[in-house]
Chains A and B, each alone.
Chain A
Amino acid sequence: MTKRHDRNFLGPAGTSLSRGEFWTLTIAGFTLFFAIWSGVAASGWLPPNLLPSPLVVWDTLVRLWHQPFAGHVYAEHQLASIRRFLMGWAIAVGIGIPLGLLMGWYRILDEIVTPLFDAIRFVAPLAWVPLAALWFGTGIGGPLLIIFVGSFAPCVISAYRGARLVETRFVEAAQTLGASSRQIMAHVLIPGALPSIIAGLRVSAGLGWQSLVGSELIVVGAGLGYLMVQGQGNLNTSVVIAGMIGIGVVGFAIDVALRAVERAFNRKWGQA
């Protein structure tokens, strides 16, 4: 008993687990999750079409890989979603980051854009769906606007903050040495803002991917979200869960990729 007390003396930061304890508990955690899921599914408390067991979901995933559902096989749905996401996100990054940098550099632009930006910032991205459908239709344009709206704000804010955080003495030093406005932009401002921009890219990619999922639930005729809606319509819960798994895997992969970029950048240019 005293031993236990000692281990908690400093609270969370002071205690540590042995390797064996850590892995035992981690594996127990994973097992517990799947055991509860299978247990509830097998118990018969719920009708099987409400909660399929993990094995049934796995079978469904394998089947969807070969057999088209809602018009396409699984990989095609996944590709459709990824392509749509990349297009919307690229537009948001391409407009948002230069705008943020310019707002950080030119005070007058900051003062003009910020009130407009604040006025529409609180409109939830998914609330744009009806207007997006009206403007660009429900094909490719509408969902693109939703992804753009979802990921635009973090791009602008991170570039703006990055530009404002660049130390004034670096800018002054460059000015003293006779650098032109454009040279300062290219050699001082943008490199100085890069860490903040890269962090913003990760946030905006996450939000853009979420917005994509939301827009696919409401409009469009292919993609993982559409697959889930069709599964829901047929009360085919295992298809719905298979769609969720695909969304989780792609979202996770996007995050891992951007984390790798962030790490590579920090290794090359020093501190974050």
Chain B
Amino acid sequence: MTGVIPRRTLIGLSTIMVALLLWWLATSGLRLLNPLRLPSPQEVWAAFSQITFGQGYGGATLGQHALHSLFLVAKGFSVAVITGVPLGLLMGWSRHAEALINPIFLLLRPIPALAWIPLAIVWFGIGDAGKIFVIWLTAFVPSVINAFTGVRGVDTVLIAAARTQGASTPQVLRHVIIPGAMPLIFTGLRLSLQASWTTLVAAELVGAFFGLGRVLNVAGQDIFPGMILVGMAAVAVCGAATTWLLGLIERRVINWRPAV
């Protein structure tokens, strides 16, 4: 028996089942809680089918809202990677560049990306551009810092070995520095991807026409607890899916290292 299903999975599954049962008992079975505080599983399911298969909610179906949010995260995040990683590599490679650029980061780094949302609204309005801007900010700073730290962490012996065998500067960069910095770069990306979702949800709660944050916002105003839970679950699923995707890319890029 224990050989078939690991003990951990068994206990995990039963915990989830018990939690769901308790939820049902508290809301629907024994009606211990006010349905305006915590909706019953049936209400959440009704909200889910309304927004997914029915007429939608907050101006679109769940799929459309989720895709809209996913695209915003993808755009802001990839622009941040494309701009941030090379800048971090440059600062890591050249102490001159580091000394010149670092002061700007010292000034901007303590300000969380969330605090840029009001400024982004003044500058870009509540359309997509402002959201891409704040997601870019969220992921840009960690990209730069982790690429920088990654380059500095490369073993000098490896660089010296490549040099002794006649490698040129571009060759050292391409074959020693960048691969050496890669694991840390991905660590930074993973953290900033989660942060990007938080930023996007905040920005969409403050004001948006589409997106999962908009669903949450409208559901909050309508006092529709079932839909609030659907929105939260959708945010979690999207966040987990993008993290999983990034993990796939990481294994592709860092194919010389055994999967962790």
Binding site for B on A (CB under 8 A): 8-17, 21-22, 25-26, 28-30, 32-33, 50, 108, 111-116, 119-120, 122-131, 133-135, 209-211, 213-214, 217-218, 225, 228-229, 231-232, 235, 237, 240-241, 243-245, 247-249, 251-252, 255
B1 within 8 A of A: no
User: A246 to chain B: closest CB distance in Å?
Assistant: 9
Determine which of B100, B151, B233 lies in contact with A28 in the assembled complex, contact meaning CB atoms within 8 Å: B100
> Once bound together, how far apart are the Cα atoms of A247 and B117, in whole Å?
13
Binding site for A on B (CB under 8 A): 7-8, 11-13, 15-16, 19, 36-37, 92-96, 99-104, 107, 110-119, 121-123, 151-152, 154, 156, 159-160, 163, 169, 172-173, 176-177, 194, 197-198, 200-202, 205-206, 212-213, 216-217, 219-220, 223, 225, 228-229, 231-233, 235-237, 239-240, 243
Do A17 and B96 touch across chains, with their CB atoms under 8 A apart?
yes
Max chain A CB contacts within 10 Å: which of B37, B110, B223? B110
Number of A-B contacts (CB under 8 A): 199
New contact pairs (10) apart from A126-B213, A210-B114, A247-B112, CB-CB < 8 Å: A15-B94, A30-B104, A122-B240, A130-B228, A134-B36, A214-B202, A231-B118, A247-B111, A249-B110, A251-B112
Do B122 and A126 touch across chains, with their CB atoms under 8 A apart?
no
> Once bound together, how far apart are the Cα atoms of A4 and B14, in whole Å?
66
Do B110 and A10 touch across chains, with their CB atoms under 8 A apart?
no
Do B159 and A11 touch across chains, with their CB atoms under 8 A apart?
yes
Do A11 and B240 touch across chains, with their CB atoms under 8 A apart?
no
User: A23 to chain B: closest CB distance in Å?
Assistant: 8
> Once bound together, how far apart are the Cα atoms of A93 and B160, in whole Å?
46
> In terms of DSSP, what is the predominant structure of the interface of chain B?
helix
Determine which of A26, A122, A228, A243 lies in contact with B102 in the assembled complex, contact meaning CB atoms within 8 Å: A26
For B15, list chain A residues within 8 Å (CB).
111-113, 115-116
Do A30 and B103 touch across chains, with their CB atoms under 8 A apart?
yes
Do B220 and A11 touch across chains, with their CB atoms under 8 A apart?
no
Closest 5 CB pairs of A and B: A130-B220, A25-B99, A29-B103, A232-B118, A115-B12
Determine which of A8, A13, A210 lies in contact with B156 in the assembled complex, contact meaning CB atoms within 8 Å: A13
For B8, list chain A residues within 8 Å (CB).
111
> In terms of DSSP, what is the predominant structure of the interface of chain A?
helix
- Chain B residue, CB-CB nearest to A231: B118
Do B118 and A228 touch across chains, with their CB atoms under 8 A apart?
yes
